[in-house]
Chain A
């Protein structure tokens, strides 16, 4: 089933890729199919102890495996990923206008992302997880930059990619160290590891999770990613991709609980992020940014709970993860609908939408209250569990972690209140703005999600089962906990009522105060500056190294070869060297030397080409004398073609060489002497110290036995060492394609076209120099 579903995704992506332009907006329906199928299958596994596994050995020599495992935890996660994905597809049908361009591309990328995310949550080998992790980075880059003509979206996409991809590198390093320390790459087999390698791995993996899950200070990409169309935000930035880091922490936590750094570092990331995120949510006026910062805050809470490592906290984290995905996706959809229908997301400009958009208002209230943790909604028992978990701490931890988590909860209630009041409150009718009619495709998914928040509370027994089964995968001791509809007047309940009261008060006060614009995105600007300066530095270095002067390239190469061969001077053993095997060689060598010398003094270009040909043909003679018919044949043919090539090329040059300046002449002599000496030294050095028997017998034997041929040379080329030949063929292909493109382009384009930059860099300073195709000395 795992293979079938993953293949279904790939097939659907291909279908959309091929037929996307014809399908238009309907591609989204195609995209919803594999997601819905995965969600349905995940539902059947919820809360059961059944484990489905699949896998194969990818590269046996490296112990690389593709392994999937669907258990209680992963079924919950894939239900969220695929289920919300399917709802987002439906929502996007309403969100985009029927004439929107690039729908096929959008649907295919969204589906590819969903596939990567499903693969990520199902992965049971760290390497499988890594591959899908990177795939989510790339597909999300494409989705954030979907409006690729908008410079804001492009910068935001680049920022998100650079930050999450740097995290990917940290993750790779962390996994390498982890596998080294743990001795296994299978996630379901991990056991606690300690020691310095494990510590380094813990830090790297936590940093990777922090980049993906937008923990301070890596959070700067998430608000910027709101440049994406709202369906993308609702999907990637609420339910799925930002959860990848949390999921990673949950899956790998059992291994690192006992290292010294895991808990303090995780708590620091989580607590700082939670507070800073909710402060950010209180400062912004764009409803989508408020939600984005709220997401940052919630992710901080999740990381905090998982880093605490107590069974109760783990249980609470899984509960919140589920509740958050449901209410946050709904809220993003609400904001997207308000944006589309009212034409703005600024809470200063919005007012009184509760009358004109009643269904959306209902969804927003239900989901918002769930976010604030108010009964009778799913967010309430989840938040109760979290508060109970932090109240269970002792001493300093209770003060710091408990205080901050409860403070964060107050701020969460406050920004929720402010958001709801800002969008739907107020009685003044909105001047200048009319509200467009409702689109059913946008409303339906929101209603489903809002119903989910309610139904989750009603069917809390079932939800508890599901969450408990999932938590036990991470922390076996979590089996004793339950979510309560009505906990009684416990400390946690009293605390959370105080939290709600304070939060509503604070939020109400802040909503009255009019803030005209949100704070400037300084962190994002700083990240962009860093990225830009890396790009500038790279271009500077490339400009120096790739100067485009052929003589300088040649001189550099020769100098390197000369330096490398200098080491072999000491290896030369004059006793082992002898002059010739037979006298014909002497004659031929004299001919070669004479022709080579002639090539340096002859004044006409054609003459030079011909004496070079003479060198080559004499060389063929040398091969005859040495008894190597294959080399003779090849050498003769190569020389023939080379001479013809020279004749053709010379047609467009002057017949005589230009008269060289003294410096130029000296340089050329130096280069020639160095390369001649280097090759001579290397050959003499190699001939002086033969090691062991030449492999000719072995090669001859294998040529007959395995290659099925008697010509050892050719069997080596096509069989024994065919990989080398394959490489040479690829070089020939590259050269030929180069010749064709350079010459055809010159014949058709008026001016040397600029090399198109692979990455969109903002215009700055100098353009990259086009590589000179011709530099005449």
Chain B
């Protein structure tokens, strides 16, 4: 495991994680007005997860849960306007005044983007899980097909 043998990697990856999370959150929230958005935020989180997985800090888990959550969020966001007689995917914009930040404007598109984030992260985790990325972290290489077979 790289993280155990190399304190530099362990420390660097651990230190990068919160920063990357912050950037991902930023990308998500500014997406409507500046470069960013749900897809970019999801990929950023995914890249962090890749780093953490291959360095052995984390197991790739909960892919199905994230995919399900994302799918439900996107589906609900897409269909719910129909309940009010609005067209599919119609956006609902709200703005309110927050003490420090001033007027904050957001809408149901943010919710939609959150769903996209969950789906993208879920996809990355599914990839990591499917290709045996934790083995890569454990032994420096992914298992071969014959090893997979022998494990059964």
Contacts and interface: CB of A to CB of B under 8 A. Distances in A.
**How many A residues are at the interface, by size bracket?**
35 or more
A709 B32 contact: yes
A729 B71 contact: yes
B37 A739 contact: no
Interface string A644-657: 11001101100000
A710 B152 CA distance: 54
A633 B128 CA distance: 22
Given A733-B71, A736-B122, A717 B39 contact: yes
B70 A729 contact: yes
Nearest to A708: B93
A729 B43 CA distance: 14
A750 to B, nearest CB: 7
Interface string A242-265: 000000000000000000000000
A652 B145 contact: yes
A651 B37 CA distance: 32
Nearest to B116: A729
A707 B107 CA distance: 9
A43 B9 CA distance: 81
A739 B130 contact: yes
Interface centre among B39, B70, B151, B152 (most CB of A within 10 A): B39
A725 B116 contact: yes
Contacts of A529: none
A729 B132 CA distance: 24
Interface in B93-108: 93, 105, 107
B138 interface: no
Contacts of B151: 747
B133 to A, nearest CB: 5
B152 A732 contact: no
Interface residues of B, number: 58
A65 interface: no
Given A652-B143, A707-B109, A714-B36, A736 B128 contact: no
Interface string A741-752: 011101110100
A733 B148 CA distance: 26
A594 interface: no
A273 B89 CA distance: 53
B43 A708 contact: no
A753 to B, nearest CB: 14
B109 A718 contact: yes
22 contacts: A630-B36, A630-B40, A632-B35, A633-B27, A641-B46, A641-B50, A641-B124, A648-B132, A648-B133, A651-B141, A709-B32, A711-B32, A711-B35, A711-B36, A711-B37, A719-B109, A722-B89, A722-B109, A725-B116, A733-B71, A737-B67, A750-B152
Interface of A: 629-630, 632-634, 637-638, 640-641, 644-645, 648-649, 651-652, 706-711, 714-715, 717-719, 722-723, 725-726, 729-730, 732-733, 735-737, 739-740, 742-744, 746-748, 750
Given A718-B37, A732-B123, A733-B70, 12 more contacts: A637-B40, A652-B131, A652-B145, A706-B91, A710-B32, A711-B30, A711-B36, A718-B31, A718-B109, A719-B109, A722-B78, A743-B131
